[in-house]
Every structure is written in structure tokens, then in C-alpha cells.
């Protein structure tokens, strides 16, 4: 007898609860690898039972209870860990949620707590980010590898080593103190940034966007902003997410096809999100110290405040990218700076800047470099070159909507070439 199919609502609920449950179980048992296994067992049990019997009144508590039973069995099965049974018996019941207004923000949001816990001092920043994307964001190893511009096998090893490093470090995997939290903030923000980006433009699959990921990144960044309201980069990141996500309703057509920024119906943009984002970035820029997220938010605000694509203040965007380039060696910043340069000084100037990126191993084989080059070549009148690079970019992306868009551009130029040759 087959189990009832898991409906989308239940699937979304389990995805939302997974990091919360993992945070609660790790907070109690201090063992990441074993807790992760136990939570996975609980999620499997829920996916089998809930469609048949209905979801329990307290889904989060149910999952924590099932995972805790698995952890108890695990502890009892290992002689070296028998002394943990006394700790388990003495701890408070994890199933009771804190009363409204009680405790710190981290105590009230196990997902946020898990976020800071994963940025462990035993880990390098890149390993901490990879582990958190896996535990909190629910991204696959392939998706994380795509975000880091590294092979999937490399990322799998990195995540495995991260878990082992935590285990062998002797440093407890627990809620960080205030000083520890401040030290881990940079990694936490980077994690949220990557989760949002994966949700806003999926690296693979049939859908351009994964709203569940981008919405969760915004929710968590709001939580961090409430925790640290005076931190400019936290506010800048939240503003960047809001200003970018505001365009989401206009980014795809009826059939899920990609609609580029210049062709979007701007009346569909979320004006409330734009207003909030502009207010946030305006307030944080006025405080003096400026960081990368604040600058990116300022660039997004310039785009969003243009009523039409042709009204975009490209000189201001170019100036902002110039400042951002001095703060960051991210090749994507250099790529976007080349686009802004092309919009202000012409496509030849932009193409010249792209040449420096050809030797950057982080972008080797990345479809976006070919896509940008194709666009600039088209603007420069090099139809043949544009067609070739659109096709190369299409072959390198694993996102179906992006691939379709790039192939459509190549086909459009081929048709134009055919008409001009017969005319």
C-alpha cells in the first residue's frame, strides 16, 4: 500500500519548520551531525503520517519530539555518550515555546539561533556559510556549489569537513554570547545574501525563482535587524533584499519565462517594499560608515526609483559601482561595473573591461560572463559574436528559464541576420 502524496502545503510547512526544529534539537543535544540525522528521520515520518492522519495541532513540537526520541536512542546506543543521558533528563522540556515577549530574540526563533550557531569559530567563513546554507536554507550541495562558483564534489567535501571540524574542535555547538555573535555577523549576513540570491534567481531547475527561499531570507534578515537595529550593513542587506524582491512580480511572464529588467512592467513592482527599502538605505547611508550591502542597496534603489528603463540614472549607478569595486574583489561586482560602464560610455568600453574577467578562475565557464558579453556585442553591432555568446551562455546555465531566454535572443538575432541577407 502506497503512502498518500505529500501536498504542497504540507511540503512547504515541513521546509519552513526544518531549520527551526534542527535549531531546537541542536540547542538541547549539542551534536550537529546526529541532530541533523534525527531531524531528517522526523521529517520522513511526518511526510508519511501527516498526509494520512492529518497534521498535528503543534507540528513543530511533534517534529522536535520525534527527533528527540531518535536522539535519545542514539545516545543510549553509544557507550561513550552514556553520561549524556543525565544531561538530557535534567534539561527543560524543549517542546514548550517561550511566552510572547520573553527572552531574547534568538531564544524565540530557533532558525535565527541555528543561523548564528552554524557560523562556528572552528570553521573558516566559507565553510560556515556552506554549512548554514545546507542546514538553514535547505539548499542542495549542487546549489551551494553554484553559489560559490566551485565544483559540486568540492563543496560536498567542504560541508563534510565543516561538520568534522565542529565535532573535533571541542568548542560547544551552542547559542553564542554577544561578543561571539558580533564576530559571526559577517558570515551570517553573507549566508542570508546567498540564500536570497538562490531564491530570487534559482541556479538550476524549471523555475526562475524560489519565493520560499527569498522570503525566508528576508524574514531572517528582518529578525537580525530587530536584534541589531543600529548596524548599517544589516539594514543595508535588508534594504537590498526588499528593493530587489519588489521586482519579482514582473520578472516572469504567464508561462514562467524570464523578462529582463528593461522590459518589465514597472506598475507590477511592489511599491510598499520599494518605499521601505529606500527609507532603510537612506537612513543607513546618512550614518557615515558605508559597506558593500549598503552600496548594493543604493544601486537597487536607483533602478527602482526610475519610472521607465530609459529614466535610469546610469551615471549615478556607475559611480556607486566604482566605490563598490574598491571595497570588494567579487568578480560579479566587476561584471556589473562593466555593464554600467557600457550604459554610460558605450558598449566598447564595457567589452574592454570584460577582458580582465576572462582570466578570473572564479568566473571561468560561468554563463553570466558570456550572457553579458553577448548583450554588449549586440549593442556594438556585432551580431555574429552576440549569437555565439548567447548560445554559449545558454549551454552553460542549468536554469531552464535562463536557457530559454538566451536561446530566444540567439534565435532572434539569427532571424534578423536572415532577413537582412535576403533584403
Instruction: Look at residue 104 and tell me whether its pLDDT is greater than 50.
Output: no
Segment among 96-110, 150-164, 294-308, 402-416 with least mean pLDDT: 96-110
Q: Which of 161, 155, 264, 158 is nearest to 208 (CA)?
A: 264
The fold of the 324-417 domain, in CATH, is 1.25.40
Pick the most confident of 17-21, 90-94, 224-228, 310-314.
310-314
Q: Give the chain's length.
A: 423
* pLDDT score for 153: 92
* pLDDT score for 95: 38
Taking each continuous run of H as one helix and of E as one strand, the counts in the chain are 20, 2
Q: Please give the span between the terminal C-alpha atoms of the chain, in angstroms, as a whole number.
A: 66
Cα 14 to Cα 16: distance, rounded to the nearest angstrom? 5
Cα 53 to Cα 66: distance, rounded to the nearest angstrom? 16
* pLDDT score for 354: 95
Instruction: Enter the DSSP assignment of 94.
Output: T
Please provide the average confidence, as pLDDT, over all residues in the chain: 86
Segment among 127-136, 154-163, 307-316 with least mean pLDDT: 127-136
Q: Mean per-residue pLDDT for 291-305?
A: 97
Pick the most confident of 135-139, 211-215, 285-289.
211-215
Please write the tens of the pLDDT for every residue from 242-271: 999 999 999 999 999 999 999 999 999 999
List beta partners, residue 258.
252
Please enumerate, as own/partner, the contacts of 74-83 that have beta carbons within 8 Å and a separation of 24 or more: 74/34, 74/37, 74/38, 75/29
* pLDDT score for 261: 96
Instruction: Look at residue 293 and tell me whether its pLDDT is greater than 90.
Output: yes
Q: Mean per-residue pLDDT for 280-287?
A: 91
Please write the tens of the pLDDT for every residue from 401-412: 999 999 999 999
82 vs 160, more confident = 160
C-alpha distance from residue 210 to each of 195, 382, 420 (Å): 10, 35, 40
Cα 355 to Cα 331: distance, rounded to the nearest angstrom? 12
pTM (two decimals)? 0.80
213 vs 317, more confident = 317
Cα 65 to Cα 84: distance, rounded to the nearest angstrom? 18
Please report, rounded to a whole number, the percentage of residues in the chain having pLDDT higher than 70. 90
Residue 420: band (very low, low, confident or very high) from pLDDT cuts 50, 70, 90: confident
Q: Mean per-residue pLDDT for 321-340?
A: 95
* pLDDT score for 67: 92
* pLDDT score for 89: 47
Angle at Cα 91 formed by Cα 87 and Cα 97, nearest 5°? 150
Residue spans per domain, the chain: 8-94, 109-169+180-228, 244-312, 324-417
Output b/e per residue, 78-112; b: 16+ Cβ within 10 A.
eeeeeebeeeeeeeeebeeeeeeeeeeebebbbbb
Beta-carbon contacts of 147 under 8 Å, excluding residues fewer than 6 positions away, are 133, 139, 194, 197, 198, 203
Q: Are 362 and 219 in contact (CB under 8 A)?
A: no
Amino acid at each position: 500500500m502506497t503512502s498518500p502524496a505529500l501536498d504542497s502545503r504540507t511540503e512547504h510547512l515541513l521546509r519552513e519548520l526544518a531549520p527551526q526544529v534542527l535549531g531546537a534539537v541542536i540547542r538541547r543535544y549539542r551534536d550537529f551531525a546526529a541532530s541533523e540525522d534525527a531531524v531528517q528521520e522526523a521529517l520522513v515520518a511526518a511526510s508519511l503520517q501527516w498526509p494520512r492522519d492529518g497534521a498535528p495541532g503543534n507540528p513543530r513540537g511533534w517534529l522536535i519530539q520525534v527527533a528527540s526520541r531518535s536522539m535519545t536512542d542514539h545516545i543510549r546506543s553509544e557507550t561513550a555518550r552514556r553520561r549524556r543521558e543525565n544531561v538530557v533528563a535534567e534539561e527543560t522540556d524543549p517542546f514548550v515555546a517561550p511566552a510572547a515577549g520573553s527572552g531574547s530574540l534568538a531564544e524565540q526563533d530557533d532558525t535565527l539561533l541555528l543561523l548564528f550557531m552554524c557560523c562556528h569559530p572552528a570553521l573558516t567563513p566559507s565553510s560556515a556559510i556552506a554549512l548554514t546554507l545546507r542546514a538553514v536554507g535547505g539548499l542542495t550541495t549542487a546549489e551551494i556549489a553554484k553559489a560559490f562558483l566551485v565544483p559540486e564534489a568540492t563543496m560536498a567535501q567542504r560541508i563534510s569537513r565543516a561538520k568534522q571540524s565542529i565535532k573535533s574542535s571541542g568548542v560547544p555547538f551552542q547559542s553564542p554570547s554577544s561578543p561571539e555573535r558580533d564576530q559571526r555577523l559577517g558570515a551570517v549576513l553573507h549566508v542570508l545574501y546567498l540564500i536570497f540570491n538562490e531564491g530570487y534567481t534559482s541556479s538550476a531547475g524549471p523555475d526562475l525563482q524560489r519565493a520560499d527561499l527569498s522570503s525566508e531570507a528576508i524574514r531572517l534578515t528582518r529578525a537580525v535587524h530587530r536584534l541589531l537595529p543600529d548596524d548599517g550593513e544589516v539594514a543595508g542587506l535588508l534594504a537590498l533584499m526588499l528593493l530587489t524582491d519588489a521586482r519579482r512580480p514582473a520578472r516572469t511572464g504567464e508561462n514562467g519565462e524570464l523578462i529582463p529588467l528593461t522590459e518589465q512592467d514597472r506598475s507590477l513592482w511592489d511599491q510598499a517594499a520599494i518605499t521601505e527599502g529606500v527609507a532603510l538605505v537612506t537612513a543607513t547611508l546618512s550614518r557615515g560608515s558605508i559597506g558593500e550591502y549598503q552600496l548594493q542597496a543604493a544601486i537597487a534603489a536607483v533602478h527602482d526609483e526610475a519610472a521607465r528603463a530609459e529614466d535610469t540614472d546610469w551615471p549615478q549607478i556607475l559611480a556607486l559601482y566604482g566605490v563598490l569595486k574598491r571595497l570588494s574583489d567579487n568578480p560579479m561586482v566587476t561584471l556589473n561595473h562593466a555593464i554600467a560602464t557600457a550604459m554610460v560610455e558605450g558598449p566598447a568600453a564595457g567589452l574592454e573591461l570584460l577582458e580582465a574577467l576572462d582570466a578570473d578562475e572564479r568566473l571561468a565557464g560561468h554563463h553570466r560572463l558570456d550572457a553579458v558579453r553577448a548583450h554588449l556585442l549586440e549593442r556594438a553591432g556585432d551580431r555574429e559574436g552576440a549569437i555565439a555568446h548567447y548560445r554559449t551562455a545558454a549551454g552553460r546555465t542549468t536554469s531552464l528559464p535562463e536557457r530559454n531566454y538566451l536561446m530566444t535572443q540567439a534565435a532572434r538575432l539569427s532571424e534578423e541576420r536572415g532577413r537582412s541577407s535576403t533584403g
